[in-house]
Amino acid sequence: MIKLLFALLFFATALMAADKSVYDFTLNSIDGQPAPLGAYRGKVVLLVNVASRCGFTPQYTALESVYEKFKDRGLVIVGIPANNFGSQEPGTNQEIKTFCTTKYNVTFPMMSKVSVKGDDKTPLYQFLTDKTANPHTGGEIQWNFTKFLVGPDGRVMARFEPAITPDSPEITTAIEKALAEAKK
């Protein structure tokens, strides 16, 4: 009987996780205002945990370039600062905003700093890394600039590890495919 109850509980939890989407979460903007991800419903979203003092930080240039190339077709890039890896994002939200806009001319939405790993992991990243909710893309974040491609329905379509640059054929092809699907 107990085994059956545990099995039912596991199944119910898996169903609830499967019913969630990225649009069920709200972060705070870099300016501290609530930023419901549901505002991007119907768009293709690339979520990226970013850091200002990382070897991958120059990817901001490619992120902005990809954003400019595809934003009019329905792509939104969301930068999510995190200080989980090597203390490479130590600044305040204002310092991060100033760095991104002055050094890399970032115009895509930036969120307030969160944790993407550990006991204080933000609920969005609990969902993104949950292997039950996202069996093909779940798993712990290993470093800064991990990218999640989200379809217009809020479901995670793909995950790209930090070394894969935003302007790589692998990512731009996936974005183009997602944008084409969104038009159907």
Residue whose pair of structure tokens reads 């905003």 in the numeric block = 97
- Lookup result for tokens 């939405």: 109
CATH fold for the domain made of 2-183:
Glutaredoxin (3.40.30)
Burial class (CB in 10 A: 0-12, 13-18, 19+), 164: middle
Catalytic residues: 54
pLDDT of the residue at 137: 96
pLDDT of residue 184: 74
Amino acid at 13: T
CA dihedral 174, 179, 181, 184 (to 10 degrees): -170
Query: pLDDT at position 159, please?
Result: 98
CA gap 124, 35 in Å, rounded: 12
Q: Give yes or no for a contact between 125 and 184, defined as CB atoms under 8 angstroms apart.
A: no
CA 117 – CA 122 distance, rounded (Å): 8
Residue-range domain boundaries for the chain: 2-183
Write phi, then psi, for 160 (nearest 5 degrees). Answer: -125, 130
Q: What angle do CA 111, 168, 113 make, to 5 degrees?
A: 15
Q: Would you write out the chain's pLDDT as a tens digit for each of its 184 residues? A: 555 444 444 444 444 445 899 999 999 999 999 999 999 999 999 999 999 999 999 999 999 999 999 999 999 999 999 999 999 999 999 999 999 999 999 999 999 999 999 999 999 999 999 999 999 999 999 999 999 999 999 999 999 999 999 999 999 999 999 999 888 7
Q: Are 180 and 71 in contact (CB under 8 A)?
A: no
Contact call for residues 41 and 35 (beta carbons, < 8 A): no
